[in-house]
């Protein structure tokens, strides 16, 4: 069953195509690829284990509750993505090329962004001095997915909300 989103707004499309135009700057594409790669998952596992080992009691709590958060986020992400079934921009617009090959078919919500915001939320709660860097990274991961032609801006916003919500639910469940 498909639950379609409203049609993509003209404002969102203008913003999307403007962002894509930044790829004409060589370092933008290369940097976007690198940042997007950080959102593939291995970074969170390695960072989580480092926080677990080096972060004392806060690191242990963050790791365990983070695992709960990801176990909430992943099935919700999968369910929403496969219910909404929004085609990726490069599938909808012939002149849009994906710079990376996504692992799944649909774009809404952004799983990379959802995972990044789970991580950023958990780190910011347990290690507040890292709040600005981790949220900056989470936003850059989302932006990189648009710059690479695999997501619309609203996919990123939805992914951020999903990640944040999943982290907060995990925190409530763990109390």
Q: What pLDDT was estimated at residue 142?
A: 96
Classify residue 7 by its DSSP letter: P
Query: Quick check: is 164 in a domain?
Result: yes
Query: Quick check: is 11 in a domain?
Result: no
Percent share of the chain, pLDDT over 70: 96
pLDDT above 70: residue 5: no
Percent share of the chain, pLDDT over 90: 61
Q: What pLDDT was estimated at residue 163?
A: 98
CB of 107 closer than 8 Å to CB of 152: yes
Q: What pLDDT was estimated at residue 140?
A: 97
Rounded to two decimals, the pTM is 0.90
pLDDT grade for 4, boundaries at 50, 70 and 90 = low
Determine the Cα–Cα distance for residues 68 and 122; give it in Å rounded to an integer. Answer: 11
Q: What pLDDT was estimated at residue 171?
A: 95
pLDDT grade for 164, boundaries at 50, 70 and 90 = very high
pLDDT digits over 77-104, tens only?
999 999 988 888 888 777 777 777 888 8
* Domain, as residue range, for 35: 27-174
Q: Which tops the pLDDT comparison, 91 or 163?
A: 163
Q: What's the structural domain count of the chain?
A: 1
Q: Which residues contact 102 (CB under 8 A, 6 or more apart)?
A: 88, 150
pLDDT above 80: residue 8: no
Q: What pLDDT was estimated at residue 162?
A: 98
């Amino acid at each position: 069953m498909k639950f379609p989103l409203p049609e993509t707004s003209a404002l969102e499309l203008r913003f999307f195509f403007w962002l894509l135009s930044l790829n004409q700057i060589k370092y933008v594409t290369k940097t976007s690829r690198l940042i997007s790669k950080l959102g593939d998952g291995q970074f969170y596992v390695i960072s989580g284990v480092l926080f677990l080992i080096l972060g004392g009691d806060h690191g242990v709590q963050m790791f365990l509750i983070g695992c709960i958060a990801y176990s909430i986020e992943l099935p919700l992400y999968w369910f929403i993505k496969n219910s909404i079934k929004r085609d990726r921009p490069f599938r909808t617009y012939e002149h849009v090329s994906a710079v990376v090959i996504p692992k799944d078919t649909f774009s809404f919500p952004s799983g990379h962004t959802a995972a990044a915001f789970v991580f950023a939320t958990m780190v910011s709660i347990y290690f507040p001095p890292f709040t600005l860097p981790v949220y900056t990274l989470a936003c850059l991961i989302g932006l990189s997915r648009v710059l690479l032609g695999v997501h619309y801006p609203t996919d990123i916003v939805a992914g951020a909300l999903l990640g944040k919500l999943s982290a907060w639910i995990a925190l409530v469940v763990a109390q």
